[in-house]
């Protein structure tokens, strides 16, 4: 395995073992039931909070454990091997809500909000996507205007993971409608118990069915001036920086899901016999397994290349998009082969590869579709070529 290729610290290695133990003992055994009942993975989030993993890269002064971005990606990969729904819930809270507060928040805001988010006492979500601006993230229709000492937000948000469970939302709104697409946008820390906040719908999804994906209405929600996150009209670049990290996280999630499907397929191929011998002895199955292992290894290299670069404080616009594009599409191919190796058993709920397949599909859509990643990569290459 290519883990040895990268300079993981002893802390990184201990973290991986800690998360693996949690997944093996508590998270993976619940995954089937959570998928069937759609029950929110509250127990897992509490356990992750107790271990400090909800604030894995938050400085200790704000309630975190003070590790780095790579530690977060390790946690994402390992969690995804056990339960995709728990992993998505985790990344929406940690990667999408906590990150912009770390990037934009004042010292006072960090002291006020991060300890409760890091402990799991409060859950968070990120309000960027809207009914008409999913992939086109800069085309926000939610508006915010000043009224006395408060700001007033009005609009609707879509595909909000944790939307019905979160106490805090980092909400993005257009504060200067005269500015062009991607400009004049500001972030706000919204108390989800504020008057005017409502959650009219929880989506019934193909996969990741225990994660809560909500539509959130903001109907003249008043937000105090102290809850403005960063400078007025300048939030969009930070949201894009947040999504850079989010793409690496979804790539790690894709990697973990693919690894889980692969391991189950290898185990099944050794146990199942056809035509007088184990499936693993058939050349076609061996070809499948070789292809799956190679693609997983390639994805792992892309994921951790991006993770270590981001942990070093460098931009990963190109590397993150590459990792996310390849790993998410790879996960679909690996899961499909895992089902094929299982044959008819792969199509039924009792054998978990069908659930992993359903869960993996979101990875080709969330944090920017595969087609958006292709555009990002091409622009990075062509832009660099033009400058050269």
Q: Where are the domains of the chain?
A: 2-123, 125-234, 237-387
| Closest-CA residue to 212 (of 85, 124, 123, 121) | 85
Q: Output the pTM of the full model.
A: 0.95
pLDDT (0 to 100) of residue 164: 97
328: number of Cβ within 10 Å: 29
Alpha helices in 168-282 (DSSP H): 236-271
The CATH topology of domain 125-234 is Butyryl-CoA Dehydrogenase, subunit A; domain 2 (2.40.110)
Question: d(Cα 298, Cα 309) in Å, to the nearest integer?
Answer: 17
Is the fold of 2-123 the same as that of 125-234?
no
Work out the average pLDDT over 60-72: 97
CATH of domain 237-387: 1.20.140.10
User: Over 70: is that where the pLDDT of 2 sits?
Assistant: no
80-137 per-position pLDDT tens digit: 999 999 999 999 999 999 999 999 999 999 999 999 999 999 999 999 999 987 667 6
Q: Which residues pair with 170 in a beta bridge?
A: 126, 189
- Name the residue with higher pLDDT: 280 or 387: 280
Residue 178 tokens read as 């005269």
Question: d(Cα 140, Cα 239) in Å, to the nearest integer?
Answer: 12
| Closest-CA residue to 367 (of 337, 314, 311, 327) | 327
User: Over 60: is that where the pLDDT of 380 sits?
Assistant: yes
pLDDT (0 to 100) of residue 187: 94
* Residues annotated as catalytic (active site), given as ranges: 367
Domain 2-123 has what CATH class? mainly alpha
From 87-91, 98-102, 179-183, 269-273, the region with the lowest mean pLDDT = 179-183
Query: Can you tell me whether residue 228 is helix, strand or coil?
Result: strand
Q: Which residues pair with 188 in a beta bridge?
A: 171, 228
Query: Taking all residues of the chain, what is their mean pLDDT, rounded to a whole number?
Result: 95
Contacts of residue 24, Cβ cutoff 8 Å, sequence gap at least 6? 82
Question: d(Cα 209, Cα 203) in Å, to the nearest integer?
Answer: 9
Question: d(Cα 32, Cα 182) in Å, to the nearest integer?
Answer: 41
93: number of Cβ within 10 Å: 28
Cβ atoms of 225 and 151 closer than 8 Å: yes
pLDDT (0 to 100) of residue 222: 98
Q: Which residues pair with 123 in a beta bridge?
A: none
Question: d(Cα 324, Cα 253) in Å, to the nearest integer?
Answer: 9
311-340 per-position pLDDT tens digit: 999 999 999 999 999 999 999 999 999 999
Work out the average pLDDT over 168-197: 94
In which residue are the tokens 């016999």 written? Answer: 273
Q: Which residues pair with 109 in a beta bridge?
A: none
Distances in whole angstroms, Cα of residue 174 to Cα of each of 143, 169, 280: 5, 16, 57
Percent of the chain whose pLDDT exceeds 90? 89
Phi, psi of 125 (to 5 degrees): -145, 175
Residue 327 tokens read as 């790993």
Work out the average pLDDT over 157-177: 96
pLDDT-derived band at 388 (thresholds 50, 70, 90) equals: very low
């Amino acid at each position: 395995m290519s883990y040895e290729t990268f300079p993981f610290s002893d802390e990184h290695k201990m973290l991986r073992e800690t998360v693996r133990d949690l997944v093996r003992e508590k998270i993976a055994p619940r995954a089937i039931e959570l998928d069937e009942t759609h029950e929110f993975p509250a127990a897992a989030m509490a356990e992750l909070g107790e271990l400090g993993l909800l604030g894995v890269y938050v400085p200790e002064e704000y309630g975190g454990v003070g590790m780095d971005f790579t530690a977060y990606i390790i946690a994402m990969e390992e969690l995804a091997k056990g339960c995709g729904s728990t992993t998505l819930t985790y990344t929406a809270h940690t990667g999408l809500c906590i990150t912009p507060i770390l990037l934009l928040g004042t010292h006072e805001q960090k002291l006020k909000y991060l300890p409760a988010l890091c402990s799991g006492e409060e859950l968070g979500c990120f309000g960027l996507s809207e009914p008409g601006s999913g992939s086109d993230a800069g085309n926000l229709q939610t508006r915010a205007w000043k009224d006395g000492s408060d700001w007033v937000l009005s609009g609707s948000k879509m595909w909000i993971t944790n939307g019905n469970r979160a106490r805090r939302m980092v909400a993005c709104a257009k504060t200067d409608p005269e500015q062009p697409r991607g400009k004049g946008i500001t972030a706000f820390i919204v108390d989800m118990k504020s008057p005017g906040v409502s959650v009219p719908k929880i989506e019934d999804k193909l996969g990741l069915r225990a994660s809560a994906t909500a539509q959130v209405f903001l109907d003249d929600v008043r937000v105090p001036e102290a809850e403005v996150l960063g400078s007025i009209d300048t939030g969009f670049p930070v949201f894009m920086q947040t999504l850079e990290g989010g793409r690496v996280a979804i790539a790690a999630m894709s990697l973990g899901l693919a690894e889980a499907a692969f391991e189950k397929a290898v185990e099944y191929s050794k146990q199942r016999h056809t035509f007088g011998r184990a499936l693993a002895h058939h050349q076609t199955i061996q070809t499948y397994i070789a292809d799956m292992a190679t693609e997983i290894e390639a994805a792992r290299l892309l994921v951790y290349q991006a993770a270590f670069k981001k942990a070093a404080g460098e931009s990963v616009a190109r590397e993150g998009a590459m990792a996310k594009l390849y790993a998410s599409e790879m996960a679909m191919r690996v899961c499909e082969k895992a089902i094929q190796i299982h044959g008819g058993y792969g199509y039924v709920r009792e054998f978990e590869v069908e659930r992993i397949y359903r869960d993996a599909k979101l990875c080709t859509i969330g944090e920017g579709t595969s087609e958006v990643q292709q555009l990002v990569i091409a622009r990075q290459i062509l832009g660099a070529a033009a400058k050269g």
